[in-house]
Chains A and B, each alone.
Chain A
Amino acid sequence: MHLLAPTALRVAPDDFPARVRARFASELRRAGRFAQLCLLGAQACLEAAGGDGPLGVLWATGLGALDATRAALDEGLRRGEPAMPFTFIAMQPHLAGALLAQRSHPVTRTACLYLAAHAWPSLPQLAQRWLAQCERVLVGCVEESGAAGVAHRSDWCLFQKEPVAGAVRCERSLRPENAAAATGEDWIPRVAAWRGRADAPLLLSGGEDAWRFTIDG
């Protein structure tokens, strides 16, 4: 399969509301910060990748919708206020896929995974499986900032079956022992950085699995 538009988005927490307003005006007021963060990165990746066709959306997180959870629990339920869909914990992790679909992208399936940091190879592996049913799969790693001075991150790339100019060929590697260890936090940024100076294949591992990236053609 082929990878397009690796997009690493980092947003300082203080800048986040302005970034969302600039990108979506007031459209996302019902979504929690996690869903907004997903959508910011996913939209940037899709715009960079171009193309159309049925799209699967798959993203992973370690902690998930922390902000929405805190808001629902501390500010809502404790005060006896009704929990509405926008702060409803069952809804928030999954909401980004629906919001993306409502923005005219032909989304056919979505899932939010909670993974250990080293388990990121599950994402390209699952994307490859989904490509049997979708033409393209948008894959993300999203995490809200959990500490002062740490940026929110929303990293995305697009996988598709067909090669196009500028795409990166991705294959599961049978030689994980030769790979550099990567995590959910850095594998997409490393692919993005490598693509600009790709004089040799990039081999990244996570757990006992590894993926090999080469420039198409």
Chain B
Amino acid sequence: MSEAFVRASALASALGPDLGSAVERLAGAPVAAARNTKTGGAWPYFAIPIAGDDWRKRAEAIARRVAADLRREAALAPAQWADLPCIVGSSSFSVGAWDEGGWAALEPAFEFSRRLARGFGVRGPVTAVSTTCTSGLSALDIALGLVAEGEFREVLVLGVEFSNRLTVAGFAGLELLSATAARPCDRERDGLVLGEALAAVLVSAAPAPWRLAALATRMDASSVTGPAPEGTVIADAMRAAMAGAHWESAAVDLIKLQSGGGPLADSAEANAVRELFAPVPSAVSLKGALGHTLGASGPAELALLLASLSRGRVPATWGFAEPDGELGLAPSGGDAEGVRRVLFNLSGFGGSVMSLALEKAG
């Protein structure tokens, strides 16, 4: 069984059209999400700062930019790049095309994913996966298996979520959105702010600075729209990820929280963290800066976190100001010196709960 590493990553998000600008912006003062008429106008939304009136052409323009960034960083030979298999994770795929073009504009998920992969210039087999907000990590999970078993030496993972009114309307219907801002773990948190992102991660058997040590998946069927309040399934996933990586809980230096500012979901995750850790290690949430990018959130937050750590910084948690005593979590940024083991949490509708163990190689 081969080990797997992050060879390269790229990201277009509300923080910027590329990963470098996103990391720079994240190191600066927080910027609030604006209301976005393309997603209905009633709710703040983290949009990628790339203009375009036509949904499909804009998506293609974003993809071209991310593909060029990833290709440059990956530095693969052209033939190797062209042969890459591609696993696409999304919860909405091309549903945003309907906003402008109606039913006829909506592509089946697989066709959209194949077109996206071809837009990256890869010609290998394409698979698309949907596990709601964990879709991108489910794609990573498939990639890890392909690399571990020696099927492929490199696998391209894409997490994609482009703006669409239906997703915003769905979350609004469930009363899960904040009318003002995402405040992960904050005493005043009152809901999620959604966002869009296209993230690309190249998983490789070749050693690289960060190893994907273990990925655990669990199912929390207590409700289809939220975790069990006590957080036992989330704790179980984190425990399984640590066991898979052969870590004791004291070895964890940083937890990347799922936390997006939802009152109940943040509380469930905090219960899980407190069950496993005493004292609680440093923690960070990226949803105050990226928004909750749903099916893209796994690769998007992974790319942003690793890029920040490689520049020596644990990013600040935008939107967090006042600790909630009941949560017992106070995410804070700072120096990344000494951060070698990271637990990376994600969960989503339908009960999907995942925890990824990341380890600095060498």
Residues in chain A within 8 A of chain B (CB atoms) = 62-64, 69-70, 72-74, 76-77, 82-85, 88-91, 93-95, 97-99, 101-102, 107-116, 119, 122, 126, 129, 133, 207
Give the distance in Å from the alpha carbon of A71 to the alpha carbon of B231 in the complex.
34
Question: Given A109-B219, A114-B130 in contact, is the A98-B350 Cβ separation under 8 Å?
Answer: yes
The interface-forming segment of B68-76, B102-110, B182-190, B335-343 is B102-110
A residues less than 8 Å from B133 (CB atoms) = 90
B267 near A: Cβ within 8 Å? no
CB distance from B26 to the nearest CB of A (A): 26
Q: Are A93 and B169 in contact (CB under 8 A)?
A: no
Interface residues on B, range: 35 or more
Known: A64-B109, A82-B169, A83-B170. Is A101-B130 also a contact (CB below 8 A)? no
**B residues less than 8 Å from A76 (CB atoms):** 169
Query: Nearest A residue to B233 by beta-carbon distance?
Result: A108
Q: Are A113 and B349 in contact (CB under 8 A)?
A: no
1/0 per residue B314-328: CB within 8 Å of A?
Answer: 000000000000000
Given contacts A89-B92, A114-B108, A116-B110, contact A74 B350 (CB under 8 A): no
Contact A101 B138, CB 8 Å, known A88-B173, A91-B170: no
Q: B351 and A101: CB pair below 8 A?
A: yes
Q: Which of B125, B131, B221 has the most CB of A within 10 A?
A: B221
Min C-beta distance of B214 to chain A, whole Å:
11
Chain A min CB distance to B72 (Å): 29
Task: Decide: A91 near B349, CB < 8 A? Known: A85-B224, A107-B219, A129-B149.
Answer: yes
> Does B232 lie at the interface of the complex (its beta carbon under 8 Å from any beta carbon of A)?
no
The 4 closest A-B CB pairs, nearest first, are A101-B221, A82-B173, A88-B170, A90-B91
Given contacts A64-B109, A116-B114, 18 further A-B contacts (CB under 8 A): A63-B108, A64-B108, A72-B166, A73-B98, A73-B103, A76-B169, A77-B166, A77-B169, A91-B132, A95-B350, A97-B350, A97-B351, A98-B219, A98-B221, A108-B218, A108-B219, A109-B352, A110-B219
